[in-house]
Amino acid sequence: MATRPTMESRRDQMFPLLAPQEIDRLRRFGEIRHYAKGEMVLSAGKDVEGLLVILSGEVRIASHHTNDEIVVHAPGSFLGELAHLSGRPSLVDGQAVSDVEAILIAPAHLREVMVAEAEIGERIMRALILRRVRLLEQNVGGPVIVGRADNRDVLRLEGFLARNGHPHERLDPDADGCAKALLERFHVSPAELPIVVCANGTMLRNPSENALARCIGLTRAVDSSKLYDAAIVGSGPAGLAAAVYGASEGLSVIVIDCRAFGGQAGASARIENYLGFPTGISGLALMARAYNQAQKFGAEMIIPDEVRSIGRDTEDGDAFVLLLASGQSIRARSVVIASGAEYRRLSLDNLPDYEGAHVHYWASPLEARLCAGQEVALVGAGNSAGQGAVYLSGVASKVWLIVRGKSLDATMSRYLCDRIAAQPNIEVLVETEIDALEGKDGVLDHVSWRSAGNAETVRRAISHVFLFIGAAPNTGWLAQFGVERDSKGFVLAEALAGENRFPFQTSRRGIFAVGDVRAASIKRVAAAVGEGAQVVSALHAWLADVRDASSAVASTFGART
């Protein structure tokens, strides 16, 4: 039996009504606001002021692009979705149907509600998440991308938004009248596609991910005068775990990631061996929960932006300064390196010609849409490769699973090996490597591979290749600061405390490393989450040590004067 859409099956959870006594308990967290009939309470593309609990009157929520009604909030309901948790731009419009009186709870106070009023906070948090899911399911809110589905830049932009849990709409310039109207309005030629029209009316021509993030309000200005307890570099499982546990224990935490939350785990089609999810869960769904959880406890997110270097704070020798690619800087008492790894690539000269549109490093619905009914090649022998192969077998006519080793058994979990063996349209080729990609003008049309001991090359008409061949540590930027790494580039940091060393401490005191980026770590989601949680105790010990040292210096200086 087909499942009902989220809007129908969980409507009561999505739009709950608060009892009068619950509303009274929320009054201390906010202030009374009044809106006249017809006034815009929310405007898509503009920063929200906070969550609104309706005391009297009604507010109509509608799509910015189509004005289609989503819901009408009446007394006892509250107005908001995940953007209201962090004060980011609204994805929808909200207009007062009649005179409205409401309690406005600013984002900082909303996070206080989550902690101080746990039962009410749980209902609010669940509703905020479900409302975002609903927007994602129906592509309501967010920017409009105009471009063809198979264009590599369209895929890049759609992938970026999807990985960051941000709704968007794509219009085909060849078939959609609205797309043609937009091109005429902004005087855009086909050669300039794709374009992106943000909710605030700004039009971008084939923007970078950072430019798009700025336009839709994903990135925020950093307060360079603020001194954080911990700056976490990377928002994969380890980084998000450190953020959740650190922020929930009262540390001021900021997380930086150059692309999207979730890391490689967020790109996994399905994770079935993570504790507590017997039916499995997509990597994006799991990491989105952790991302929202970290924000619930007050962790700040700077995504996307990239740390270029780490140095000492000239004003406070015990603190670090992280310089970002955007030109901003972050000051922190400690640094947690959780930057994961970068995808390895095949050693083929023409590989870059096909990356993005025909060569992929994860398997999501976007890629599945492109290769439906086609043969595909997938290279790899780890769990990510197994998950990707099983996922793609549901849409592709044939999946060629190309493995360099002698079997899958040594590198892939048993349940995935069994599942692959049970799929009639997955064929495993062991001791085999791709040796050629063929095509013209960036369009891949044939793939060739060769097996060990066989001089004959197999050539197939294949337009999409998926690479899951492991990853190299993303640590080159640490070299200039003297953080020691092993011969493969992984950061040296012992999980156990040693003499004058805290657990997970690198060669530089105050800098820690957890997750896949750490040498000798176990490359599993659960292990990364465990390290992220464990490092918080080391952060507490380090921060206490720094405070004690500072107090001793101050005391000595005071005695001398």
- pLDDT attached to residue 9: 72
Directed axis angle between helix 383-393 and helix 414-422, to 10°? 30
Q: Enumerate domains of the chain plus CATH numbers.
A: 6-137 (2.60.120.10), 144-216 (3.40.30.10), 227-342+474-553 (3.50.50.60), 351-469 (3.50.50.60)
Question: pLDDT tens digit string along 77-129?
Answer: 999 999 999 999 999 999 999 999 999 999 999 999 998 999 999 999 999 99
Question: pLDDT tens digit string along 149-166?
Answer: 999 999 999 999 999 999
Question: pLDDT tens digit string along 190-211?
Answer: 889 999 999 999 999 999 999 9
Distance between CA atoms of 94 and 297, rounded to whole angstroms? 27
Directed axis angle between helix 283-296 and helix 118-137, to 10°? 140
Q: Which amino acid is at 159?
A: G
Instruction: Report the Cα–Cα distance between both ends of the chain, in Å, rounded.
Output: 80
Distance between CA atoms of 486 and 269, rounded to whole angstroms? 31
- For residue 161 the two structure tokens come to 């938004």
Question: pLDDT tens digit string along 337-352?
Answer: 999 887 889 999 999 9
Distance between CA atoms of 459 and 70, rounded to whole angstroms? 51
Question: pLDDT tens digit string along 239-269?
Answer: 999 999 999 999 999 999 999 999 989 988 8
Q: Check: CB of residue 296 under 8 Å from CB of residue 85.
A: yes
- Residues with Cβ within 8 Å of 56's Cβ and at least 6 positions away in sequence, in order, are 75, 99, 100, 101
Question: pLDDT tens digit string along 471-501?
Answer: 788 888 888 888 999 999 999 999 998 777 8
Residue with structure tokens 């909200």? 94
Distance between CA atoms of 468 and 519, rounded to whole angstroms? 20
- pLDDT attached to residue 472: 85
Kindly report the CA angle at 522 between 163 and 384, in degrees rounded to 5? Answer: 40
As a whole number, the mean pLDDT across the chain is 93
Residue 249: closest CA among 532, 527, 547: 532
Predicted TM-score (pTM) of this structure: 0.91
- pLDDT attached to residue 552: 57
| DSSP track, 540-559 | HHHHHHHHHHHHHHHHHHHH
pLDDT range class, residue 3, cuts 50, 70, 90: very low
231 CB burial (10 A radius; 0-12, 13-18, 19+): buried
pLDDT above 70 (res 554): no
